[in-house]
Amino acid sequence: MSIIKTIPFGIAATLIIACGDSSSGVSLQESALQGDESAVEILSGATTDNPDAKQTGTNSPASAQSGAQSGEKTPATDPASSGSLPADPAQKPGSSATATSTDPGPTSSPSQTTPTVQPGDSSDDNEEDDNVSLDGTETTLTFSGTDVTIANDNGCLEKAAGVVTVKCSGNYYLTGSATDFQVIVNTAATDTGKVDLFLNGVSLKSSDAPIYVQNAEKAELHLVKGTTNSIEDGATRSKTYTVNGKADTTKAAIYGKDDLSIKGSGSLTVKANYNNGIHTSNDLKIKKSTGTLNVTAANCGLKGKASLTINGGNITVNASKGDGIKSDEDDAAALVQGKGNVKIAGGNITITAGFDGISANNTVLITKGETTEEPTIKITAGGGQTCLGNSTGGGQGGRPGGGMGFGMEGNSCSPDSSMKGFKADSSIVIEAGKIDINSRDDGIHSDGSLTITGGFATVKSDDDGIHAEQTLAIKGGTVEVTMAYEGMEAAYMNFEGGVTSVVTTDDAWNAAGANASSSTGGNNGGRAGPGFGGGGFGGSDGSKIKITGGFHYLYVGTGDTDGMDSNGDIDMTGGVVVIECRMNGGMGGMVDSNGDTQISGGKMLGFGTNNSEEGTQYSVSFTDDKYYGTSEIAFKPSFSGNKMVSNVGQPTAVNSVDGMQKQCFGSSTTNCVYYK
């Protein structure tokens, strides 16, 4: 079980995209969407492998509130640490909702004066697909144009002009086609049951939100096996509702003020012409389903303000002017309690977003559920990587062929708005999954810590491939950055395992930004012997690269570039590192640090065209058609040069790699290192 200890950060301001919450900035349509969601109490959500567990943080609510007000970021603790989780004391608010409109409002006409409550699904957290067998006794709503026919009325339905309101928990089957009709769920505060809406071949269109959950302990949409369903809202809003004494305007095609979950093996297409596709003010959960969910939204695709969990399903999100998947809880106390999280533990997910692909105000967790396959996630954010030079030659693995250069002064490709693949304010943890990110901005970005222990991530970016403001920890899995300005960047970079490869136009690894007092290094880039302790040019900022395990390939193009660059220290005691640095000007080269450099273990082999600031350097002419190294490590470079770095003795041409172990980088079958 993975338990994430999170510390919230201040809510970063956005330019125009807020996905419909008044607390998160203003979108292009947001002035018409403002509703006071602070009055809605946050209910429990599933943000760990145990769906009944809650998460806790280490910051005090006071400090989190200060960050939320100032917009400043606070360092995060290790996201891999675990602890006990508190119970959620929140209670459901009282139920009271009315609507006003510039159009004629609905007229109240209860179908029965003495409603009887039909029990909902007793297994609220059941993840399995529904096995629906109809016997004709179900409460069924059959839509036709602007009307609905109710069969087997359970006394809990209130029909009015263009709207039907579900007043009690129970099972309700929706079928037929509506051109302008709305389903509202509004149960009493004393009703602790679940409202189950079975979408049984229904097409709902409405000038407002076709499905609007105002009050319910829990509500669930069931995509009935073998059925095709669709939801589409209008491009404007004319109604203002009063929910629990507060004004509210629906902000999505499927909009909920309380918890909402989706399951089933049928299909659902959502077209949101006004703002978001599916949006809840509390917890949004897509269960371990085999169904299909297609969402096209004017703004954000899927949003669970308090939390968003995906355990399965085939999901496609197209949010051309917003974020794809989002949780943007901004209440300080709720963030400390573990809200504002996105958790993906299954499913096949494809996201095309104008801005961020997946965004969380707290934590993003990609993992494998206890009974689900690993998730597959494909993201194109901000139009994808289009500015930096694309790699040619090299085939698989994204390694450029000989003669390829990427000289740049600064990164003019970085966009003004956030267009990241993954973005989290507190931490990102990747434990499993197959991830493919093509982003205009950073591929994977955490304002706190970023930990990778498993999975296979491929990243292509016009800015950083992998970025953490604080600590980046690679403990397992495979990370392949096929193109980026800088491959991996963080204040503290710990490589304990896994297989990584980066192809960049600037630094491959860059440790920078640590909040430490400046200290001077040893010499001005002088070369030291084996087990050496060197010093970079300039003063250390306290940042550090630490390598204790794993296999790592670093490629940088021509220009003033560095392979492994630390504004502080470098410490290598294990692992295998291969560096290709085509620097043709400036200082740094294959290995560069502003502090102490200690390489006392592992195996490092570097290929360059210029002197390296750090490392034991040798004058060895090499070409791209032979292996070079020692009896302990060998690699075939992709270009020709005359400088090499090695910590395992004098490198030379290697005639045979027979008898050596082989480790390939990323998806390549040819870009491989041989070692003993």
Q: pLDDT tens, 486-544?
A: 999 999 999 999 999 999 988 999 999 986 433 333 333 332 333 333 344 458 899 99
Which residue in the block uniquely carries the two structure tokens 């009307």? 147
Q: Is the pLDDT of residue 392 over 60?
A: no
Confidence of residue 596 (pLDDT cuts 50, 70, 90): very high
Q: Are residues 318 and 430 in the same domain?
A: no
- Asked which of 264, 293, 322 is the last residue of a domain, the reply is 322
Residue range 312-323: average pLDDT? 96
Q: In terms of pLDDT, which residue wins out, 652 or 396?
A: 652
Q: What is the mean pLDDT of residues 445-472?
A: 97
Region at 29 (left for phi over 0; alpha for psi -120 to 50; beta for the rest): alpha
The residue that leads in pLDDT, 414 or 635, is: 635
b/e string for 351-376 if b means 16 or more Cβ within 10 A? bbbbbbbbbbbbbbbbbbbeebebbb
Write out the two tokens for 353.
């977003």
Among the three residues 297, 322, 347, which one is the final residue of a domain in this structure? 322
Q: Are residues 476 and 606 in the same domain?
A: yes
**Is the pLDDT reported for residue 89 higher than 50?**
no
Domain annotation covers residue 72:
yes
Residue 73: pLDDT band with limits 50, 70, 90? very low
Q: What is the pLDDT of residue 611?
A: 83
Q: Are 307 and 197 contained in the same domain? A: yes
* Domain's final residue, options 301, 322, 343: 322
Q: Check whether 105 has a pLDDT greater than 80.
A: no
Confidence label for 340 from pLDDT (cuts 50, 70 and 90) = very high
Average pLDDT of the segment spanning 202-216: 97
pLDDT for 128 equals: 67
Residue 232: helix, strand or coil by DSSP? Answer: strand
Asked if pLDDT for residue 70 goes beyond 80, the answer is: no
Same structural domain for residues 508 and 640?
yes
Q: Tokens 């200890």 map to which residue? A: 5
Shared domain for 313 and 451, answered yes or no, is: no
pLDDT, one tens digit per residue, over 641-669 is 999 999 999 999 999 999 999 999 999 99
Q: Judge whether residue 120 has pLDDT over 80.
A: no
Is 311 domain-assigned? yes
Which pLDDT score, from 0 to 100, does residue 342 have? 98
pLDDT at 409: 39
Structural domain contains residue 468: yes
Position 19 scores a pLDDT of 65
Nearest to 329 by CA among 77, 19, 96: 19
Q: Distance between CA atoms of 41 and 38, rounded to whole angstroms?
A: 7
Distance CA 237, CA 274 (A): 8
Of 38 and 123, which is predicted with more confidence? Answer: 123
605 pLDDT higher than 70: yes
% of the chain with per-residue pLDDT over 90? 65
**Residue pair 462/413 in contact by the 8 Å Cβ criterion:** yes
How much is the pLDDT for 621?
A: 96
With bands split at pLDDT 50, 70 and 90, how would you rate the model's confidence at 15? Answer: very low
Is residue 409 a part of any domain in this protein?
Answer: no
Q: Give the pLDDT of residue 413.
A: 82
> Which range is least confidently modeled, 31-40, 353-362, 499-508?
31-40
Q: β-pairing, 478-484 with 302-304?
A: unpaired
Q: Is the pLDDT of residue 259 over 60?
A: yes
Percent of the chain at pLDDT > 70 equals 72
Q: What is the mean pLDDT of residues 575-592?
A: 82
β-strand 603-608 against 641-646: which pairing, if any? antiparallel
Torsions phi, psi for 235 (to 5 deg): -85, -10
Same domain, 617 and 509: yes
CB atoms within 10 A of CB 281: 30
Label residue 148 by pLDDT band (50, 70, 90): very high
pLDDT, mean over the chain: 80
Range of the structural domain that residue 235 is part of: 22-103+136-322
The 3-class SS string of 430-442 reads ECCCEEEEEECCC
Count helices and strands (H / E) in the chain.
2, 59
Quick check: 14 pLDDT over 50?
no
The reported pLDDT for the residue numbered 491 is 97
pLDDT value at 256 more than 50 = yes
For 410, residues 6+ apart whose C-beta sits below 8 A from its C-beta are none
Confidence of residue 112 (pLDDT cuts 50, 70, 90): very low
Section 624-642 average pLDDT: 96
pLDDT of residue 129: 64
Closest CA to 444 of 512, 364, 511: 364
Instruction: Check whether 95 has a pLDDT greater than 50.
Output: no
- The residues, any chain, with a CB within 8 Å of residue 539's CB and separated by 6 or more, are 518, 519, 520, 521, 594
pLDDT at 97: 54
pLDDT value for 107: 35
By the 8 A CB rule, do 569 and 590 touch? Answer: no
Q: Decide if pLDDT at 83 tops 90.
A: no
Instruction: Say if residue 448 is in the same domain as residue 304.
Output: no
Do 317 and 440 lie in one domain? The reply is no
433 and 314 within one domain = no
Domain count, the chain: 2
- Report if residue 66 sits inside a domain: yes
Q: In the β-sheet with 672-675, what is the strand arrangement from edge to edge?
A: 652-654, 627-629, 633-635, 672-675, 661-664
616 within domain boundaries: yes
